[in-house]
Amino acid sequence: MTAPTAADKELFFGSRPIEDGLMQAELSVPGMKCAGCISKIEKGLSTLPGVVSARVNLSTKRVSVVWNKSDHEPPLIDALNGLGFDAHLSSAQERSEDNELRRLIRSLAVAGFGAGNIMMLSVGVWAGAGEEARALFHWLSAAIALPVLMFSGRVFFASAWTALRARSTNMDVPISVGVFLTFALSLYDTATGRPHAYFDAATSLLFFLLIGRTLDHVMRARAHSAISALQKLAPGGATVLHKDGSTEYLSIDDIEPGMLLRVAAGSRFPVDAVVVDGDSDIDVSVINGESSPQHVKAGDPVAGGSLNTTAPITARATASEKQSFLADMIRMMENAEGARHQYRRIADRISDLYTPVVHLGALIAFCSWLAFAGDLHRAVAVAVSVLIITCPCALGLAVPMVQVMAAKRLFRAGVMIKDGAALERLADVDTIVFDKTGTLTTGMPRLANENDAGMRALNVAGAIASYSTHPYSRALAQASRLSPHIRLEANQVAETPGNGLEAEIDGVTYRLGRPDWAVTLPAKQDADEKSCVVFSKNGELVARYHFEDDARPSARTVIQKLNQCDFYVLMLSGDREPAVSSFASRVGVSSWQANLRPAEKVKQITELTASGRKLLMVGDGVNDAPALAAAYASMAPGSATDIGRNSANFVYLNDDLNNIPLTIETARRAKTLMRQNIAFAILYNAIAVPIAFLGLVTPLIAALAMSASSLVVVLNSFRFGGDTQRITNLKKRRDLTKSLLAQTQAQTQ
């Protein structure tokens, strides 16, 4: 076996071990653009010796490769270069900028400027300009078209050249060939004094194609990954306590299992750890999505990314940064997103057939005319006309234009689309999976037994609670009716981390908090400490306060509507079983599961997907991010965490659950219009290609026909217009008309 090269060593150290001698490498491939790239890369890498699997994530432009450590390091970078893609090992700290969008917009602006000016010169030619004026206009058009093609055309030329170098093809190849031949033929005709030139056709072609390419890129870019936001939950490092008592701040990469960590109040745990010393309340919403903090003490485990809220803690690291709970969540999201983007959009599926058919048609036209007419110029002109008239402008606009109109309609309703492909997937969903806390509920606890204790006790408890930021304290303070004579100074109230609040009022000691801490005299304790706060006076029980999370106002109505539309509705929650069961019965959810961690939610979604169901996941928390990424389509409310919003395909800003059925209805309407547009594009080609093949159109007429087909697609997409209420009213009128007609027919009979 040959000695490993520098690239091999870089791959080895840039990969991470997973299991059974397998390694996983993450490669950045910025040149990926479509489903064809996904197929080409995955097939190309999977054939390499030692490679177990290769999975592409199109939104992050990354490839995850699993390879066998017992074999020689596979030449992944060289293989990708051979396929026509530049690649390098990706870093977890990479931050991508959308330079591609800026490049497309600049190219679109230049193409539009050039096409407009050349079209004005062409009008002068069509108006009957003299021979000298016509020649001048043609040369001016050539002078404008050349820099336009060099600048704006590179979007397609570079992609086509990359594919050809790799001995393959893509949709940009016939586009590039058509534009280049049109310009070359026009330049030849201008130089030889012929009456016609087609510089306007070449530039207009680029302009229309760039419109479709830019719209498509904007919709795809909104599907950006939430992984970078999730990584921000982990601090850059932590204070490590050494055996000699000294402390040192170490980077998170240098923290190893067994090290003692000091985690201040307000800081996050960098890695998984177990508490050694201290008591505090921990925000574990990253794990189970519940807003209620969890009390931890010596011996309790804490997951990396959890937030220490009340008191300093000393903890012993039990995992490295790469093996922590937070790292597992990031890997789950990467795998889930990679699987989600295996979905191939309608236009992408059709494009597989487009390139070979167009090339073959143009080649047959050229050979036929050259053989039968013996005129090289005529044969080239006909071949160019075939390439132009079949140019995928209508196909390129068919999907993006509908997506833009759907986005406009949903925006009016307060829903943002982040992933255009998800609009197509959403139209096919048959199962709706809800998170509970923050999605079907308001996410804030409310005092459930306000009238069980005396108002005087509630007022005093509320006054004490106002000095704490604990969710239960805020709920008590909000529920209390503070009497004018209850005035507490800050020095009268002390908070014991993990236990509760203590106050001295007129020589009386009041405690508000955990039952086993607040009540010191013999009394019956409440078994359910997680949902109960007690109020005591001199150690004697005064009142027990229970809390519950309110359902959103539209929760029950929306679930009933979804059930009536034959959707299978399921609720997955990290909350306790009694709370989930009670809430499910209140809102009408018949299927639910409780006590689920993020990985278990993903497992449930994966199993349902494997059974043939197409799921819409609706969630809001950090713990829901992997499940949102794993689902067939996903939604999050505007009140969700940043990571929850970034992971979802759709975000409804006003937190109104009625937006869920509205978005599904919009997606189904959009898919219908997309299919109509694509059907028209196919019909147009079926009619136009034979006409161009017979030599009945010039390249200019071909360009005009292509532009007309694009215009028809755009106008059909505008049929999406109209708000939800207008469409609802039309449906009501249609139903009423049908009913009246039926009554009239019955009376006639």
Structural class in CATH, domain 235-326: mainly beta
Q: How much is the pLDDT for 223?
A: 45
Alpha helices in 47-98 (DSSP H): 76-82
What 31-34 contacts at long range (C-beta under 8 Å, 24+ apart), as own/partner pairs, is 31/61, 31/84, 31/85, 31/86, 31/162, 32/56, 32/58, 32/61, 32/85, 33/159, 34/170, 34/171, 34/348, 34/351
pLDDT in tens, 613-645: 999 999 886 678 888 888 899 898 876 666 667
Q: How much is the pLDDT for 229?
A: 53
As given in the structure block, the two tokens for residue 535 are 């109020």
**More confident: 171 or 148:** 148
Q: How much is the pLDDT for 528?
A: 45
**More confident: 413 or 589:** 589
Amino acid at 595: N
Position 151 confidence tier, pLDDT thresholds 50, 70, 90: very high
Q: How much is the pLDDT for 570?
A: 93
Q: Hunting for tokens 């000699």 — which residue is that?
A: 244
CATH 3.40.50.1000 placement within the chain? 421-430+553-653
Number of Cβ within 10 Å of residue 1's Cβ equals 5
Q: How much is the pLDDT for 416?
A: 76
Q: How much is the pLDDT for 288?
A: 52
Distance between CA 163 and CA 37 in Å, rounded? Answer: 10
Say whether pLDDT at 289 is over 60.
no
Query: To the nearest whole number, what is the mean pLDDT of the chain?
Result: 77
Distance between CA 278 and CA 309 in Å, rounded? Answer: 12
Given strand 650-652, what is the order of strands in its sheet? 415-417, 650-652, 633-637, 615-618, 431-434, 568-572, 591-593
CATH 3.30.70.100 placement within the chain? 6-89
Distance between CA 388 and CA 179 in Å, rounded? Answer: 8
**Which CATH entry fits the domain spanning 421-430+553-653: 3.40.190.10, 3.90.180.10, 3.40.50.1000, 3.40.50.620?**
3.40.50.1000
Q: How much is the pLDDT for 147?
A: 93
Q: How much is the pLDDT for 571?
A: 93
As given in the structure block, the two tokens for residue 358 are 């167009």
As given in the structure block, the two tokens for residue 478 are 């909000």
Distance between CA 693 and CA 168 in Å, rounded? Answer: 26
Distance between CA 119 and CA 204 in Å, rounded? Answer: 9
Q: How much is the pLDDT for 592?
A: 92
Residue 247: strand pairing partners: 241
**Per CATH, is 443-451+482-551 categorized as 3.40.1110.10?**
yes
Q: Which residues of 563-588 are buried (b: 16+ CB within 10 A; e: fewer)?
A: eeeebbbbbbbbbbeebbeebbeebe
Position 349 confidence tier, pLDDT thresholds 50, 70, 90: low
Q: How much is the pLDDT for 286?
A: 59
As given in the structure block, the two tokens for residue 96 are 């991508």
CATH 3.40.1110.10 placement within the chain? 443-451+482-551
Of 112-121, 212-221, 646-655, the range with the highest mean pLDDT is 112-121
**More confident: 530 or 406:** 406
Contact 29, 85 (CB under 8 A): yes
The closest of 453, 676, 625 to 543, measured between CA atoms, is 453
**More confident: 248 or 342:** 248
Of the listed ranges 69-73, 347-351, 538-542, 723-727, the least confidently predicted one is 723-727
Contact 82, 166 (CB under 8 A): yes
Of the listed ranges 34-43, 287-296, 596-605, 667-676, the least confidently predicted one is 287-296
582: enclosing H helix or E strand: helix 577-587
Please compute the mean of the pLDDT values over residues 549-577 and round it to a whole number.
88
Say whether pLDDT at 195 is over 90.
no
Of 75-84, 209-218, 734-743, the range with the highest mean pLDDT is 75-84
Number of Cβ within 10 Å of residue 247's Cβ equals 11
Structural class in CATH, domain 6-89: alpha beta
Position 97 confidence tier, pLDDT thresholds 50, 70, 90: very low
Q: How much is the pLDDT for 641?
A: 66
Distance between CA 550 and CA 98 in Å, rounded? Answer: 41
pLDDT in tens, 427-481: 889 999 998 888 888 877 778 776 666 777 888 888 888 888 777 787 888 777 6
Please compute the mean of the pLDDT values over residues 577-591 and round it to a whole number.
87
Residue 616: strand pairing partners: 432, 633
Contacts of 346 (CB under 8 A, 6+ apart): 399, 424, 674, 675, 678
Given strand 441-447, what is the order of strands in its sheet? 441-447, 540-551, 532-537, 508-513, 500-505, 493-496
Please compute the mean of the pLDDT values over residues 503-514 and round it to a whole number.
86
Q: How much is the pLDDT for 9?
A: 52
Instruction: Check: pTM over 0.75? Answer yes or no.
Output: no
Q: How much is the pLDDT for 730?
A: 42
CATH 2.70.150.10 placement within the chain? 235-326
* CA-based end-to-end distance of the chain: 92
**More confident: 392 or 310:** 310
- Write the CA distances from 169 to 158, 172, 175, integer angstroms: 12, 8, 11
Q: How much is the pLDDT for 113?
A: 92
Residues classed as catalytic: 435
Q: How much is the pLDDT for 568?
A: 93
Please compute the mean of the pLDDT values over residues 251-261 and round it to a whole number.
83
As given in the structure block, the two tokens for residue 473 are 């304290």
Of 203-207, 494-498, 520-524, the range with the highest mean pLDDT is 203-207
The closest of 193, 141, 181, 149 to 382, measured between CA atoms, is 181
Instruction: Identify the DSSP state of 530.
Output: G
Say whether pLDDT at 270 is over 60.
yes
Residues present in the chain in total = 749
Position 296 confidence tier, pLDDT thresholds 50, 70, 90: confident
Please compute the mean of the pLDDT values over residues 5-11 and round it to a whole number.
53
